[in-house]
Amino acid sequence: MLARMAENPSGKLSAVFKAKELDGAYDFVENDNVTTARLEVAIGRSAAQRCAEERRVRVAVDGSSLSLTDGPKDKGFGPIGNISAGWQGLKVLSALAVGANGVPIGLLAQAWWARPEAPARTLKQCKRDRMKKKPRDKETGRWLETIERSAERLEEAGALGWFQLDREGDAWPMLFSLSESGHWFTVRASWDRRLADPGDKKYLRGRMAKTTPLGSYELDVPARWNRRARKAHMVIHAAEVVLLLREKMNGKKPRPLSIRVVWTHEQGTTPPGESPLDWMLLTNAPIDSLEAARTVVTGYAMRWRIEEFHRTWKSGACNVERTQLRSRNAVIRWATMLAVVAARIERIKRLGREQPDRPATDELSPVEIEVLIVLKREIKKRSEVIRDDIPTMAQASLWLAELGGYTGKSSGGPPGSITIGRGLERLKHGVEAVVAMRRASQ
């Protein structure tokens, strides 16, 4: 099923499988004897085994929501987003392994849940109820479980992890759990934390502002709707501090945590009306030099790979949110399998950019490469010469994107996941025809 889904990614089973296969596919995803936990374990262990080739693999952890159709509200979904909008769907947390070169390796773990329909309460009541719960009983528990399962699978495979978390990770249960995991971590600070040994500065930002910069570097900043393109001048600081992490539940006293901090911020190049770039990163990785501190920053920047994965999975090439399956468990099984496909598409995309000379045989089968060459010759320019040699990953990802409608620079950038996904769909039809003809001639 995964092989067929990889050839023809889509959010609907009817768009992936042929008539003879479709009944079996529905039986599989709707069968409660097929547990998502078993699928998730197999997927996670497989990814962890591939991580063993890395010296230290980055693990981007982030959550998302699937907005799903549920008119009668009988599929077992829960509220997502703005409660007043009435959106229904599922919450999911993913841990994506990423190589040191920025190329996705695979999914190490996922956690799914549906939020319960909350009774009408005041903001004060909601806060009071949250304070009564232990971390494992809140959504924080999903983060802890996902990180722990990822760490266990890496250890089983003999690999070392470097967890990368955004501001949601700046919570005392996660910081302590990460510190005790035996792996490295980097968490972007969300709070100006109080220090255990304040000296003349009681809080983290004040202390870091007093440190001597390790150095500076230039960063190319692309344009966005709220940001102008520029070459930013970034200054970088590093220090070791002891934070006071307050466990508010039951009035417990603050607990100290020794941690390293890398602070990188823009200086002197911020356009008028914009906020300067500013990352305060909490880590247990070594920061004994400018190069080591920059490695922490570079590793955190790889966290964006999981956001690209979520886009490809949810609304890009895989369109998982279009599923019309009738139960929560069926949706989760189907979406879990599509997540593997989305990770593969992101891997092909990134390999074409980060390891362009790698042979395409590392990711595509011999018959896929054979058909890809034939299809490329159909759309090649007059000046192009397409040889029978094994293409590189850069060539293969470009050709797949061109089959999917990519037109080069006019498309606004290098080949992306949507055009690569469309190219894989067209490639699939060619591979089916070749395989059928060869069977018929035997």
Q: Is 353 helix (H, G, I), strand (E, B) or coil?
A: helix
What whole-number distance in Å separates Cα of residue 241 and Cα of residue 260?
Answer: 6
On whether the CB atoms of residues 248 and 127 are closer than 8 A, the answer is no
The pLDDT tens digits of the residues spanning 315-370 come to 878 999 999 898 899 999 999 999 999 999 999 889 988 888 999 998 888 999 99
Q: Between these two residues, 418 and 118, which has the higher pLDDT value?
A: 418
Residue 394 φ/ψ, nearest 5 degrees: -65, -45
pLDDT in the model for residue 415 = 84
User: How sure is the predictor about 396, in pLDDT bands with cuts at 50, 70 and 90?
Assistant: very high
On whether the CB atoms of residues 143 and 91 are closer than 8 A, the answer is no
Q: What is the pTM of this model?
A: 0.88
What whole-number distance in Å separates Cα of residue 332 and Cα of residue 39?
Answer: 10
User: How sure is the predictor about 409, in pLDDT bands with cuts at 50, 70 and 90?
Assistant: low
Is the pLDDT score of 129 beyond 70?
no
Residue the block writes with tokens 């990953």: 393
On whether the CB atoms of residues 246 and 277 are closer than 8 A, the answer is no
Helix (H) or strand (E) holding 164: strand 161-165
On whether the CB atoms of residues 308 and 353 are closer than 8 A, the answer is no
Q: Which domains does the chain have, with CATH numbers?
A: 1-119+132-166+303-336 (no CATH), 184-291 (3.90.350.10), 356-441 (1.10.740.10)
What whole-number distance in Å separates Cα of residue 28 and Cα of residue 30?
Answer: 6
Q: What angle do CA 303, 96, 257 make, to 5 degrees?
A: 60
Q: Which residues of 353-378 are buried (b: 16+ CB within 10 A; e: fewer)?
A: eebeebebeebbeeebbebbbebbee
57-67 and 78-79: which strand pairing?
A: unpaired
What whole-number distance in Å separates Cα of residue 160 and Cα of residue 151?
Answer: 8
* DSSP assignment letter at 212: P
The pLDDT tens digits of the residues spanning 52-69 come to 988 899 999 999 999 888
Q: How many CB atoms lie within 10 A of CB 119?
A: 6
88-98 and 78-79: which strand pairing?
A: antiparallel
Average pLDDT over residues 118-140: 67
**Residue 230 half-sphere exposure, CB side, CA atoms within 13 Å?**
16
R_g of the chain, CA atoms, integer Å: 24
On whether the CB atoms of residues 51 and 105 are closer than 8 A, the answer is yes
Helix (H) or strand (E) holding 21: helix 19-29
pLDDT in the model for residue 363 = 86
CB-count exposure of residue 124 (10 Å: 0-12, 13-18, 19+):
exposed
